[in-house]
Copies of this chain bind each other. A is one copy, B any other.
């Protein structure tokens, strides 16, 4: 008798009809009458439940009939086709063993719970339909990212989480220390004596692996990172978390056009992979979380992304027959309302905005010939706005050094980054994709706290 998963049974049911199998799982619902009962069993391998029918021929019928929801079972029984019923087959149980009894105060009773409430029981919420779907999709999407890059020969690079300096200046950082906070050692001039700290210097949690990834791109040509990054920003919004995962590919012998092609191919690949592998979950999201979801994603997968320069985009927005909360003028950053207008109303598909003013972009982005804009791009998608930010990197040592000086940064801090330009540097480019933003986009979930297993946000580091 074979031990199988519910997923295996659903995916290859023909193989199992009329045979005896063994299945483990947790009770989602249980209905009983005097002589028989039905259990909806879920084993976590599949979105759908499996119906178990049992009757008083079981020795422990009375015990089973009274089990609390979420008790865990091993069920042995025959797979029976039920073409007339809602579900295509069910199990006629011959033995049911209780593996673990649940308690009657189980917090996830059948009634619908708010996402807010479920966040307070993050250790149990993956047992609900919505979160079981979210976290299965998160796993499949993560794998799709690896698969996409590995199939193209990219080298997966674990860039460091602990950094010795805030080189990118991308955001507020968490400081890391083993010093005794009650009695921080000081030097004679009153400043903190970091020599006594673990690394002998001030250290922080990374905000981006890009600068390190560039080192590897200039050795392996095509690399990507996929790891956690951190922002200590006090922004209590539905879109910001203090800890989130980022994907940062970096490609050598490549310019901004190559970068955009890669980003477009990757987004389409991952979305399509999830739609193919998780049809039940995606159907659930499209029915219960975000009605337009599947149409929107199908549109993304099948359309050619648009391209527009920042300068053209600003003109389009200024001419728009729409009142924006924030004014638009050349030189200021686009707000989400502007981004959504461009992708949803002007282009009606994803669009890359390129060549932003240098003042609103980072020091390492490649200066365009106009001296005013840089070879940067943001990818905007309907329903969300910016999902990817990328650029061609400045490979000209003199230009890069000048930019660093202009911005009041210190060349010494970047000695190794500058050496990449000195020893056979070449044009290269890359982008960053916030993994949680992608999962929100794919699932339609609107709060970042609901796509992270155990979210860390301002004031919250539970579990």
Contact = CB atoms under 8 A, between A and B. Distances in A.
Contacts of A253: 24, 72, 74, 99
A463 B127 contact: no
Given A182-B184, A453-B160, A456-B160, A220 B424 contact: no
Given A179-B181, A228-B227, A424-B70, A463 B199 contact: no
A397 B99 CA distance: 13
A377 interface: no
Contacts of A57: none
Interface string A154-196: 1111111111100000001011111101101000001110000
Q: How large is the interface on A (under 10, 10 to 19, 20 to 34, 35 or more residues)?
A: 35 or more
B153 A201 contact: no
Contact of A461 (B27, B124, B199): B199
A159 B123 CA distance: 11
Copies in the complex: 2
A140 B157 CA distance: 10
A148 to B, nearest CB: 11
A96 to B, nearest CB: 14
Given A135-B155, A181-B184, A182-B192, A425 B146 contact: no
B426 A100 contact: yes
A340 interface: no
A232 interface: yes
Contacts of A107: 423
Contacts of A461: 160, 162-164, 199, 201, 203
Q: What 10 A-B pairs have minimum CB-CB distances, sorted nearest first?
A: A126-B219, A44-B220, A24-B253, A70-B424, A139-B156, A72-B426, A199-B461, A102-B424, A123-B416, A44-B221
Interface of A: 5, 7, 24-27, 43-45, 70-72, 74, 99-103, 106-107, 121-124, 126-127, 132, 135-136, 138-140, 142-143, 146, 150, 153-164, 172, 174-179, 181-182, 184, 190-192, 198-201, 203, 205, 212, 215-216, 218-222, 227-228, 230, 232, 234, 242-243, 245, 252-253, 395, 416-417, 419-427, 452-454, 456, 458-463
Given A24-B253, A123-B215, A138-B158, 20 more contacts: A24-B252, A25-B221, A45-B221, A99-B426, A100-B421, A100-B424, A107-B423, A126-B220, A127-B218, A138-B156, A142-B146, A158-B245, A159-B454, A160-B243, A177-B177, A198-B242, A199-B458, A199-B459, A215-B463, A227-B228
